[in-house]
Each structure stands twice: as C-alpha cells, then as structure tokens.
Amino acid sequence: MIFEVFRQERKGQPFQHAGSVAAPDERFAEIYAREQYGRRQESIALWLVPRSAVHEIAEFPDEFEMKYRRVDGYSIKARLREARERAGTLEMAPGGES
C-alpha cells in the first residue's frame, strides 16, 4: 500500500504534503512515516492517508479564456472598504476597522 504523508511543523499550522511511504499495512506505515518524517523533530503531527482514499480532480477546462475570473493585479482591499462603508458594515468586518 502507498500512504500519502502530510506533516504539521508547528501547532496551528496547516498540514502540508511531505511525500509518501510504501508499507504492507497501516502499522508499518506508521513506523516508516514516524522515522522518515519525524525523527529530526521536524514534525509535531503526521496524517497518513491511503493513496486509494485520495479523490483526485485534475481537469479544469477553460475553452473561452475567461481571464476576468482571475484576480491578479486587482486591489480588493480599498474597494472592499468603500463597499463596507456604503453598506454600514465596516465595524462588523473581520478585523474590525482595518
């Protein structure tokens, strides 16, 4: 079996894909992942996911080049503030006045 390994470096941080281990079962996978991704204290937690449990999506058609969906170069912060002022919801926004 192949297990995908995700590791968390510090408390509160997201788990990130670290690599994979091949192992005959979950218990061997635990030992192998522990030694491979944790022996240098580089992880505080690991997630092991059987590769067969991963549902992959790899197709994103874009037949009409809908570039306007991208937000590159579009400064949203100031516009959002103006919109919130108009609506009177500035203080309710996440982070308060910011």
CB of 27 to other proteins, least distance (A): 5
CB of 38 to other proteins, least distance (A): 9
Virtual torsion, Cα 19, 24, 26, 32, nearest 10 deg: -50
Q: Which is nearer to other proteins, 34 or 81 (CB)?
A: 34
| Interface positions with other proteins (CB under 8 A) | 21-24, 27-28, 31-32, 34-36, 39
Structure tokens at 32: 């192998």
CB of 14 to other proteins, least distance (A): 25
Q: Is 60 helix (H, G, I), strand (E, B) or coil?
A: coil
Please give the Cα distance from 32 to 1 (Å, whole number): 12
